[in-house]
Structure 1
Amino acid sequence: MNGDEGHEGFAGFEGLPGGVAVSHLSVYDWPATDGVCGGTPHMHLTCSEAYVVTGGRGAVQTLTTSGYEVTPLAPGTVAWFTPGTIHRLVNEDDLRITVLMQNSGLPEAGDAVLTLPPEHLTDPETYAAATRIPVDAPEEEQERVARARRDLALKGYRALRDASGPEPLAAFHRAAAALVRPRLAEWRARWERGARAAAAVTGEQLDRLERGDVSHLADAVVRAEEPSAYGKFGMCGRLDVYRPSP
């Protein structure tokens, strides 16, 4: 189902509300060269992301055209940011988060560019060689690659933080956009099946209620799901993930 199709029978959108997705994140406790423990700095280009802190303590460092900020994270905190926000999670004490993502989990399915030094951002193949985790390799090798790409991204991140003037960050934005351009049609299809379809269903339901038609209420469903994978090596930590929305 996408936003352009009719909704025969109109059972409604059956993914998570609004076409969002969730994962459970245990932030890496690996120390970096600056002595800070945490994840890999990166940026999303089309998706907002939210953190619901469920345990531990830490912070999220962010870098935008408005400058550098640090937002403390403690149990009960809900923090979110929009596309274009470079973010780095810092783990001070067993930081655990439920992550809410736009567009059926697109931030963990492609909409993310790590802040690698410019020589690694020249084309998709070069970028992939520096960032791809070999999922069929032993866990020790996966951890080695995840740590190596985290440290490489920190090198580029520190250069962006320390830069004077707007051009280095603007250059990173341009390089990131060029890297993801080959995948935009795939991303658009995910958006059409998810967030756009969910919004279209709500519009149709409002139209029906205005006509006095309550037939869609008879199609109510309840769903529950366990994670489809546990402990995956993500950008910021170990992930328990769920299947994307329909």
Structure 2
Amino acid sequence: MAKWIPLWVHKLGSPPVFYRVAGWLRPWALALAVLLGAVALYGGLVLAPADYQQGDAYRIIFIHVPCAWMGLFVYGVMAVAAFVALIWRVKLAEVVAMESAPIGAAFTFITLVTGSLWGKPMWGTWWTWDARLTSELVLLFLYLGVIGLYHAFEDRRQGARAAAFLALIGIINVPIVHFSVNWWNTLHQGSTVRLLGPSKISADMLWPLLTMMLATKLYYLASLCGRVRTDLLALESGKDWVRQIALGEGRG
């Protein structure tokens, strides 16, 4: 691996080290995700005022928007991990990329479903070939393509490399999803939350939204840790460190 990468990253890239760190991190991340998710839902569904135009129908954004953000965020993580796996042949990076795909697909699917539920009362239709909706659907197909290609090979590492290429090619769709409301005339409303500059949303609505965004990121971290740990055990089944874990669990 490149010499500019810090030593602790090299160590964390070792499957047995990552397995132990992920095992410690996962329950904390999951507990925080559940706690923050509950707070965000209470703030969004109970405390936040009704929207002056959409009434209470807007409250679906507290699920829809964080999931939409996570669909793009997870794809970015998957693409970076795929790049590292292809360039430096890091086994852990392959696993992270491939195990991110089902989680990202789930977030993207929830985004599409909740968007349809919101679109029916707002637009009068469950679906329209709007630029944002269409590019979001393409994002789901990219996730499913990565998953399908990975499992199409008997050699798992060969499948991971093939799927990593598709993940990198598909990264071009991420900015299309994000900027589609600015580049084209769409039905979908523009961004109301900005990292730089004031947000176009009431503070009573903003804090539950940002809290849910943090909760979904922690859930992704917890889910990824669990999935990667399971995959590493299968991938490294012949190694001594896996045997030691198996023996330890058997004695327990």
State the TM bucket, normalised to the shorter chain.
Answer: under 0.3
Higher normalized helix content (fraction of residues):
2
TM-score when normalising by structure 2: 0.25
TM-score when normalising by structure 1: 0.26
Higher normalized strand content (fraction of residues):
1
